[in-house]
C-alpha cells in the first residue's frame, strides 16, 4: 500500500517548489515571466489527485489556473479560494539567501513569495490533495483559482477571469484569499488573529504639469518641472484627516479589550500607537493615503520640457474614492492634470455569518489562545476583481507567527520568509475551516 504525505508535511515542499519558479511581475508583459510555468506546475498537482484544472492565458505567458472541487450540497453557493502566482521583483544582491532559492534555515522557508503569497497557495494545494486522496467531500463546491498579475493590478489575472471566464466562477457567493488570519502576540498566551473584512481602494494617479519649453540657459517662469515638483511636495507633506470606518472601529474595540489598552473613539491614533509592529499597518487604515512614487520629465539636460509627470499611489477608504480625488485636486491646484492609471474601489463587509464563525472556530480549535478580530487591509488584493461578481470577500490565509516577527515588513521586503511551523499550522486551520465552510 502506497503511503502519501499528510497536508501538514507536504505543504513545505509545495511552497518551496513554487518559490523556486521565478514568477516576477514587473508590470510589463515583455519582462514578466514564469506565471505559465507556475500555472502548469499547479495544474499538474491538482490533476494528479483527480481534479480537472483549466489553464487560461490573457496574454502569452500570463496564465491562471482554475479547478472546481465538487461538494456534497450543490444547492449552496460555492466558496472561491483564490491565490496569486506572481511576485514582485527581488534583487539577489540585497538578500541574505537567493530570493528564488527556497532555502530552509532557522525554522523558516526563505524566498520571494514566501508570505505574498505562495504560502497560501501551498496550503490550499496540500489540503485538497490530501482530501482527494482520502475521498473527502467538502460541504459545498470549492472553486480553486491560482491567478496571474495580482502585483500589478490584476488586469491579466483576476479581472481577466471575471471578464472572460465567468463560467469558471459560476455560483461563487463567498471567497477567501490573502492577507488575513495571521497572528499578533497579545501577551498572556493570547493572540489576535486579524481576519480581513475590508480593504482600501486602489487609486493610482498620474499628475501632469504643462509649461513653456525652452533653452535651459534662459530665465523661465513657466517651468513644468517646477510646477510639478511643487504639487508633488504638497501631496507628500499632506496628512489626510482621520475617518474611522466600521471595520477599523470594531478592530480597535476588540483588540483593545484583548490587549488591555484604552480606546477613545475620539482619538483612535492613541490606541493604534500602542499596537506594536502592526501599528503601521492599522494606522494606514485610519485615513486616505497618497504617496508620490515616480517622476518623469525631459529628454535633454539643457532643454526645459513642455511636460512633466508624476505617479501617485493613493489608497482611498471604502466608498470614499471621489472624496479623495476632490481633496487631491484642491491640494495640487487647477493647473495640474490628474488622470487615473488604475482605479479599483475599496471593499468592506461585516464580521458575522456562518463563514466567519467557521474561520474563528477553526483558529480556536488549533490555537486555544486565538482571538479573531476583523481588520482593514491598507493595500488591495484580487478580491477587488472577484467582488465585481457580488462575491463577499475575506482575507483568510491563516498563519501563527513568532511574537517578534515583523510580518508586515516582509511583504515586498528583503529576506521575505515564512515560519515552517506557521505553514503547518495554516494547513491544519484551513482543513478544519473548509470542513465547516
pLDDT band at 138 (very low <50, low <70, confident <90, very high): very high
Pairing relation of β-strands 78-84 and 62-69? unpaired
Task: Supply the Cα-derived Rg of the chain in whole angstroms.
Answer: 23
Give pLDDT, residue 4. Answer: 66
Q: Residue 277: pLDDT band by 50, 70, 90 thresholds?
A: confident
Give all domains of the chain, ordered by start, each with its CATH number: 7-179+381-436 (3.40.630.10), 199-344 (3.30.70.360)
Best CA proximity match to 235, nearest among 264, 206, 214: 206
Q: Is the pLDDT of residue 180 over 50?
A: yes
pLDDT confidence of residue 197 = 98
Q: Which three cell numbers stand for residue 122?
A: 501551498
Residues 191/192/195/199 CA torsion (nearest 10 deg): -140
Mean pLDDT of the chain: 95
Q: What is the 3-state secondary structure (H, E, C) of the chain?
A: CCCCCCHHHHHHHHHHHHHCCCCECCCCCCCCCCHHHHHHHHHHHHHHCCCCCEEEEEECCEEEEEEEECCCCCCCCEEEEEEECCECCCCHHHCCCCCCCCCEECCEEECCCCCCCHHHHHHHHHHHHHHHHHCCCCCCCEEEEEECCHHHCCCCCHHHHHHHCHHHHCCEEEEEECCCCEEEEEECCEEEEEEEEEECEEEEEEEEEECCCEECCCCCCCCHHHHHHHHHHHHHHCCCCCCCCHHHHHHHHHHHHHHCCCCCCCCHHHHHCCCHHHHHHHHCCCCCEEEEEEEEECCCCCEECCEEEEEEEEEECCCCHHHHHHHHHHHHCCCEEEEEEEEECCEECCCCCHHHHHHHHHHHHHCCCEEEEEEEECCCCCHHHHHHHCCEEEECCCECCCCCCCHHHHCCCCCCEEEHHHHHHHHHHHHHHHHHC
pLDDT in tens, 95-136: 999 999 999 999 999 999 999 999 999 999 999 999 999 999
| Residues 227/311/59/16 CA torsion (nearest 10 deg) | 150
**pLDDT surpasses 50 at 16:** yes
In angstroms, rounded to a whole number, what is the distance separating the alpha carbons of residues 219 and 38?
A: 56
Length of the chain: 437
Reported pTM: 0.92
Task: Give the number of C-alpha atoms closer than 13 A to the C-alpha of residue 132, restricted to the C-beta side.
Answer: 19
Per residue in 202-217, pLDDT (tens digit) is 999 999 999 898 777 8
Nearest residue to 357 (alpha-carbon basis) of 198, 174, 188: 174
Q: What gap in Å lies between CA 333 and CA 235, rounded to an integer?
A: 11
- Neighbouring CB atoms inside 10 A of 246's CB total 16
Percent of the chain, pLDDT > 70? Answer: 99
Q: Is pLDDT at 2 greater than 60 in this prediction? A: no
Residue 7 has pLDDT above 80, yes or no: no
Q: Tens digits of per-residue pLDDT, 319-328? A: 999 999 999 9
* Residue 312 vs residue 411, higher pLDDT: 312
φ and ψ at residue 133, rounded to 5 degrees = -65, -30
Mention every residue, 6+ apart, whose C-beta is less than 8 A from residue 204: 153, 311, 312, 313, 314, 340, 341, 342, 343
Q: How far is CA 164 from the centre of its chain?
A: 23
Judge contact between 162 and 156, C-beta under 8 A.
Answer: no
What is the distance between the alpha carbons of residues 183 and 176, in angstroms, rounded to a whole number?
Answer: 17
Q: What is the pLDDT of residues 245-258, one digit of tens each?
A: 999 999 999 999 99
Question: Would residue 124 be called left, alpha or beta, if left means φ above 0 and alpha means ψ between -120 and 50 degrees?
Answer: alpha
For the segment 41-82, what is each residue's pLDDT rounded down to a tens digit?
999 999 999 999 999 999 999 999 999 999 999 889 999 999
Look at residue 153 and tell me whether its pLDDT is greater than 90.
Answer: no
Amino acid at each position: 500500500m502506497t503511503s502519501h504525505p499528510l497536508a501538514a508535511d507536504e505543504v513545505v515542499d509545495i511552497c518551496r517548489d513554487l518559490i523556486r519558479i521565478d514568477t516576477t511581475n514587473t508590470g510589463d508583459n515583455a519582462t514578466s515571466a514564469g506565471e505559465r510555468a507556475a500555472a502548469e506546475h499547479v495544474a499538474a498537482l491538482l490533476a494528479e489527485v483527480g481534479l480537472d484544472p483549466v489553464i487560461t492565458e490573457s496574454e502569452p505567458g500570463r496564465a491562471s489556473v482554475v479547478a472546481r472541487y465538487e461538494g456534497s450540497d450543490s444547492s449552496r453557493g460555492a466558496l472561491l479560494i483564490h491565490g496569486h502566482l506572481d511576485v514582485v521583483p527581488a534583487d539577489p544582491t540585497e538578500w541574505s539567501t537567493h530570493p528564488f532559492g527556497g532555502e530552509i534555515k532557522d525554522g523558516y522557508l526563505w524566498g520571494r513569495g514566501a508570505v505574498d503569497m505562495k504560502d497560501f497557495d501551498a496550503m490550499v494545494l496540500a489540503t485538497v490533495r490530501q482530501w482527494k486522496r482520502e475521498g473527502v467531500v467538502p460541504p459545498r463546491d470549492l472553486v480553486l483559482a491560482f491567478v496571474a498579475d495580482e502585483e500589478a493590478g490584476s488586469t491579466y489575472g483576476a479581472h481577466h477571469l471575471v471578464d472572460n471566464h465567468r463560467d469558471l466562477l459560476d455560483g461563487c457567493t463567498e471567497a477567501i484569499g490573502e492577507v488575513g488570519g495571521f497572528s499578533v502576540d497579545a501577551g498572556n498566551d493570547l493572540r489576535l488573529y486579524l481576519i480581513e473584512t475590508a480593504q482600501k481602494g486602489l487609486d493610482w494617479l498620474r499628475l501632469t504639469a504643462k509649461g513653456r519649453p525652452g533653452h535651459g540657459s534662459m530665465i523661465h517662469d513657466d517651468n513644468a518641472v517646477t510646477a510639478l515638483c511643487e504639487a508633488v511636495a504638497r501631496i507628500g507633506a499632506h496628512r489626510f484627516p482621520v475617518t474611522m470606518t466600521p471595520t477599523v472601529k470594531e478592530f480597535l474595540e476588540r483588540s483593545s479589550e484583548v490587549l488591555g489598552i484604552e480606546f477613545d473613539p475620539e482619538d483612535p491614533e492613541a490606541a493604534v500607537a500602542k499596537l506594536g509592529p502592526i501599528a503601521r499597518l492599522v494606522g494606514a487604515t485610519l485615513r486616505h493615503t497618497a504617496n508620490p512614487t515616480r517622476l518623469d520629465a525631459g529628454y535633454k539636460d539643457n532643454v526645459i520640457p513642455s511636460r512633466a509627470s508624476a505617479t501617485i499611489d493613493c489608497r482611498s477608504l471604502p466608498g470614499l474614492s471621489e472624496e479623495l480625488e476632490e481633496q487631491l485636486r484642491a491640494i495640487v491646484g487647477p493647473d495640474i492634470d490628474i488622470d487615473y492609471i488604475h482605479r479599483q474601489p475599496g471593499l468592506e463587509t461585516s464580521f458575522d455569518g456562518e463563514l466567519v464563525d467557521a474561520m474563528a472556530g477553526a483558529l480556536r480549535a488549533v490555537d486555544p489562545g486565538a482571538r479573531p478580530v476583523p481588520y482593514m487591509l491598507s493595500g488591495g488584493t484580487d478580491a477587488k476583481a472577484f467582488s465585481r461578481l457580488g462575491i463577499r470577500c475575506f482575507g483568510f490565509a491563516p498563519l501563527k507567527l513568532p511574537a517578534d516577527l515583523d510580518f508586515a515588513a516582509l511583504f515586498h521586503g528583503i529576506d521575505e520568509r515564512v515560519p515552517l511551523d506557521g505553514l503547518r499550522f495554516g494547513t491544519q486551520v484551513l482543513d478544519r475551516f473548509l470542513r465547516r465552510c
